[in-house]
Amino acid sequence: MSPLGALLLPAEPSLTDSKERLSMAGTLFRTKSIERLMNDGAATGEGALKRTLGPGALIALGIGAIIGAGLFVRTAAAIADRAGPSVTLAFLVAGLGCTFAGLCYAEFASMIPVAGSAYTYSYATMGELMAWIIGWDLVLEYAVGAATVAIAWSEYLNNVFGFFGVSMPWRLWHSPFQTMPGTGLGDVAAVHGIINIPAIVILFLLTLLLIRGTRESAFVNNLIVITKVTIVLMVIVIGWGFINPANHTPLIPVATTYVTPEGVTHNYGGIMGILGAAGVVFFAFIGFDAVSTTAQEAKNPQRDMPIGILGSLAICTVLYVLFAYVLSGVATVEDFRSTGREASVAFAISKYMTGYAWLAKFVTVAILAGFSSVILVMLLGQSRVFYSMSRDGLVPKIFAETHPVYRTPYKSNMLFFVLTALFAGFIPGDIVGEMTSIGTLFAFILVCAGVWMLRVQRPELKRGFRVPAVPVVSTLGIVVCGAMIYGLGWTNWLRLLAWLAIGLVLYFAYGKKHSLLAKG
């Protein structure tokens, strides 16, 4: 054991003891043995999840969760506010951080093929309290994230309606906290939002699809993935011929500052601009870890989970870099700072790619489809995390009850529909958007640390995939993700702490008392 490992990990009389262990800190840090986790994952019959997913379906699930709002929305913001044409380098930095975390996820998923993702991994390495914290934190990534994307889905649906000369009443697709200013002519007053109906509708439809079955959900997701990847490739291939080399000169702008129309100052250009842009486009990578939540539904998890996680991450990183290179080369930075900031891809096509107005409409439809698949996978991931927590007794057993025919956690799906619908229907998307990112980064840090810890605790365990150069890779993952958390600012730190405080109240009020591990 390394000196640092000795500081991180408590000494144990036997690392191969398969019984439940209590740490020096007491029952709050009791860990669940790997053997018990494997037994839970191998369970069949009533209450068990159905194994229907192969490597292709898992890669498609990952791509479905990754390509969406981040690529189509946040890329333009990163170009305008932070990096200019060096946004391609920002995608590489963000992808590097996700690669470190993805390698750690792949080892855990091949070794502990059980639903629950980072929650399950933390339970085996850091103890029950930390497992609860990360499980509660994942609500930010999946449930709140799904609500955020549903709000964006609603906005783009209205754009599609515009193709046919139809427009939804403004107040029926905005929250009560949003106001559309009046015209100032005296006869048109400001309009206040009431409820975001389209966002609630899409959440409900996708929840019903998840209840119907994971295989059916994966089939629909595959169709959506094919559609939006095709559109992304079309933009790259067609747009390549419209790149203006002047827009890429210099590739890394001279370091300065940029003040947005809202008065927010950002570092623009140089190294700080690239790092800041990496934090912005990180949202584009959120979702690959959702693959690990379906481990109990994979046909051959030891082989298929690493393929699904790393395969989807690699494909998306390549597409992101090429897409960002084309987008930043077709339109100027000033375009993205003004009229081209919203619906940026369609704007760039319409203004600069002569003869391809039809492609702008296809891109808008692809964005709508892309958002749908992101919501689908986020809802899937959230229900599987609480399925595992319920099986451990940390949340009520209703979250683990499966449908008698479809064998999906249908009650959990419906409860999370209510939660996400409340966020999507009544709260503006910008309030919860960055909370999704910080929750994900926190989960990545714990997974990177957990792989290192378990290498020391249980070196003899069979691993279908091994992260190379541990602890170097896991440490780099912690550092890069921690740097991005730092870049999100103190307001998001406070929001994360407040959310975790609520979770701790729930744990001590219910989870600690009902833990099956505590009952032996």
Q: What is the mean pLDDT of each run of 10 residues along the chain (520 residues)?
A: 34 41 55 68 52 75 76 82 90 87 81 68 81 84 84 82 82 79 48 87 91 69 79 91 92 87 77 82 75 69 78 89 93 85 79 87 80 82 82 87 81 89 82 75 85 84 82 91 78 85 92 82
Backbone angles phi, psi at 242, to 5 degrees: -110, 10
- Measured at the CA of 369, the angle between CA 367 and CA 374, to 5 degrees, comes to 90
Bond preceding residue 471 cis, omega within 30 of 0: yes
DSSP string over 320-366: HHHHHHHHHHHS-HHHHHTTTSTTHHHHHHHHHSTT-HHHHHHHHHH
3-state secondary structure of 268: strand
CATH number of 3-10+21-514: 1.20.1740.10
Domain ranges (residues) in the chain: 3-10+21-514
In sequence order, the β-bridge partners of residue 26 are 23
d(CA 305, CA 295): 7
Q: Are the C-beta atoms of 221 and 64 separated by less than 8 Å? A: yes
**Rounded to the nearest 5 degrees, what angle is found at the Cα of 275, between the Cα atoms of 271 and 280?**
145
Q: What's the CA gap between 4 and 347, in Å, rounded? A: 52
Q: Which residues contact 406 (CB under 8 A, 6 or more apart)?
A: 211, 212, 213
Structure tokens at 253: 């702008």
Give per-residue burial for 402-424: e unless 16+ CB within 10 Å, then b: beeebbbbbbbbbbbbebbbebb
Which pTM was predicted? 0.73
Answer whether 112's CB lies under 8 Å from 34's CB: yes
- Model pLDDT, residue 46: 45
Spacing of C-alpha 392 from chain mean position: 24
Tokens of 449: 């640390």
Residue 416 near residue 429, CB atoms below 8 Å: no
Task: Return d(Cα 379, Cα 367) in angstroms, integer.
Answer: 18
Which of 494, 381, 435, 368 is CA-nearest to residue 148?
435
Name the H helices within 403-509.
410-426, 429-457, 472-487, 490-506
Tell me how crowded residue 490 is: count the other CB atoms within 10 A of its CB.
Answer: 8
Q: Do 89 and 273 contact (CB within 8 A), yes or no? A: no
The dihedral of CA 124, 282, 412, 208: what is its sign?
Answer: negative
Rounded alpha-carbon distances, angstroms, from residue 300 to 44, 111, 257, 367, 491: 15, 12, 51, 32, 43
Model pLDDT, residue 197: 92
Query: What pLDDT does 192 receive?
Result: 78
First to last CA, the chain: 30
Residue 54's alpha-carbon distances to 301, 378, 407, in angstroms, are 9, 19, 18
3-state secondary structure of 473: helix
